[in-house]
Copies of this chain bind each other. A is one copy, B any other.
């Protein structure tokens, strides 16, 4: 089996990196991580990459004169590793339009809301302030405008009356760790296409074709 070659970009703890590490540890999983890049030398996720024996690299954004130069360095490292799909996993740098264009339809992100609701940062604080009854997460292809782009997978969770931003984020994170590897699998299996309306279409979805509700239990 040829496995899809993943490059994972992190800035912090890398919990979604860990979810991908665990998924790719299964030899029947159709993707493998071939490069981890952190823009921060102190990212805890680097330890996870090391522990898993994965090639990791620090591309410290503070060492570059501007965003495009930083992004070119990342692209070079990703291409040297023959990365086919870039997975943003808590990567906290805005990307240049050139980088986004270069990796168009080959770069995905996970965002802790049911997009298009609650784009941006401090999501769960805003969910609670709004009194929404549902929260969730979204895996999507990356487009120039932040937190837009074709939606591959979403999962919803209830908001509880006694939730704090932290407790809600933790509940969502559990779902992130399920749907990110699932979305990568769908892509690696060639089941995701992007239609003329810039929507991601999923072929042969097990229960409901093309639809992801909460992902099926393992």
Contact = CB atoms under 8 A, between A and B. Distances in A.
A150 B131 contact: yes
A128 to B, nearest CB: 8
A211 B163 CA distance: 10
Given A114-B114, A129-B197, A156-B156, A134 B213 contact: yes
Contacts of A154: 132-134
Contact of A161 (B151, B197, B211): B211
Contacts of A153: 133
Contacts of A118: 116
B211 A158 contact: yes
A210 B161 contact: yes
Interface string A103-131: 00000000000111110000000000111
A174 to B, nearest CB: 16
A34 interface: no
A201 interface: yes
Contact of A211 (B129, B160, B201, B212): B160
Interface string A185-218: 0000000000001111110010011111100000
Interface string A159-170: 111100000000
Contacts of A129: 197, 199
Interface of A: 114-118, 129-134, 136, 150-151, 153-154, 156, 158-162, 197-202, 205, 208-213
Report the 4 A-B pairs with minimum CB-CB distance, sorted nearest first: A161-B210, A131-B199, A117-B117, A133-B154
